[in-house]
Amino acid sequence: MIGYATGLRAMDDKQVKRLKARNVRTALILLSVALAFFAGIIWRRWS
């Protein structure tokens, strides 16, 4: 991958892994908020 992988050269493997896991956690939290809004608005009007 251009950019990202090279950008993490200053880190060792463990640090990179930890950062990527943290990024994925943050993304999943945000995605679940978005999905909750989407499902919530339809469910509220469905029931």
Length of the chain: 47
- Residues touching another protein, count (CB under 8 A): 28
- Which C-beta is closer to another protein: that of 17 or that of 35? 35
Binding to another protein (CB under 8 A) within 1-47 occurs at 1-10, 19, 22-23, 26-27, 30-31, 33-42, 45
For 36, phi then psi, to 5°, come to -65, -40
Minimum CB–partner distance for residue 21 and another protein (Å): 10
SS (H, E, C) 1-47: CCCHHHHCCCCCHHHHHHHHHHHHHHHHHHHHHHHHHHHHHHHHHHC
Contact positions vs another protein (CB under 8 A): 1-10, 19, 22-23, 26-27, 30-31, 33-42, 45
